[in-house]
């Protein structure tokens, strides 16, 4: 029996209309080794999910997804060296900002210079120690994903992106903002 070609996207509708019955014969779905039998209403499409070819492959896919933030970098789930929570990071940022406001006002009698003081504080302290004043008070610090210090070049990249405000809010599953991903850093607990 010769097989007719079907129009793409309307395979179920064309099959039902051509057969004129409520029961469809097994048809090839386009997935290797799977077929679908059943009824289809005119104007509807049936979607199928291909079965995993190998159960071991499906298990390895699940194993690739980290169970907690920092796992893929070899960091512990809790305690020293684990990824710092967003709450602690935000509170450290607020502390740093308020401190920089006080310094800017004390030096210039204007709060206009707060962003400049903040940029200098964040850059210098992150490059040299990995911790700003707020981070130190809350027991967190910035490190490279390989465990080393941030250094002047990557601290500059990180600080420049941090000053744009929005990118640090876009985090991945390891709680790394765009500024951390660009500088290959992560914020951890002390």
d(CA 79, CA 106): 38
For the CA atoms of the chain, what is the radius of gyration?
28
Say if residue 57 is in the same domain as residue 85: no
pLDDT at 13: 44
Say if residue 105 is in the same domain as residue 184: yes
Domain assignment present for 40 = yes
Of residues 95, 105, 145, the one with CA closest to residue 125: 95
Average pLDDT, the chain: 79
Domain assignment present for 3 = no
With a CB cutoff of 8 Å and minimum separation 6, the contacts of 125 are: 131, 132, 133
pLDDT at 26: 45
Domain assignment present for 123 = yes
Q: What is the span of the domain harbouring residue 121?
A: 80-189
pLDDT at 108: 94
Say if residue 95 is in the same domain as residue 58: no
Say if residue 170 is in the same domain as residue 112: yes
pLDDT at 138: 97
pLDDT at 152: 96
Dump pLDDT digits (tens) for 79-100: 999 999 999 999 999 999 999 9
pTM (2 decimals)?
Answer: 0.65
Query: How many domains are there within the chain?
Result: 2
pLDDT at 87: 94
Using 50 as the pLDDT threshold, list the residues of the chain that sit under it: 9-40, 45, 47, 49
Domain assignment present for 1 = no
Give the number of other Cβ atoms within 10 Å of residue 6's Cβ. Answer: 15
Domain assignment present for 90 = yes
């Amino acid at each position: 029996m010769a097989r007719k070609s079907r129009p793409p996207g309307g395979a179920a509708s064309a099959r039902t209309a051509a057969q004129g019955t409520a029961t469809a014969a097994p048809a090839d779905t386009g997935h290797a080794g799977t077929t679908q039998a059943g009824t289809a209403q005119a104007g509807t499409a049936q979607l199928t999910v291909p079965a995993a070819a190998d159960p071991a492959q499906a298990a390895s896919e699940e194993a690739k997804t980290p169970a907690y933030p920092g796992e893929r970098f070899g960091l512990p789930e809790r305690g020293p060296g684990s990824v710092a929570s967003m709450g602690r990071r935000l509170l450290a940022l607020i502390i740093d900002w308020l401190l920089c406001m006080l310094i800017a006002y004390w030096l210039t009698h204007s709060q206009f210079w707060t962003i400049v003081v903040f940029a200098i504080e964040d850059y210098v302290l992150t490059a040299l120690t990995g911790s700003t004043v707020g981070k130190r008070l809350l027991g967190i610090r910035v490190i490279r994903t390989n465990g080393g210090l941030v250094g002047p070049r990557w601290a500059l990249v990180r600080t420049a992106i941090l000053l744009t405000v929005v990118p640090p809010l876009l985090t991945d599953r390891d709680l790394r903002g765009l500024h951390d991903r660009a500088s290959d850093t992560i914020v951890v607990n002390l």
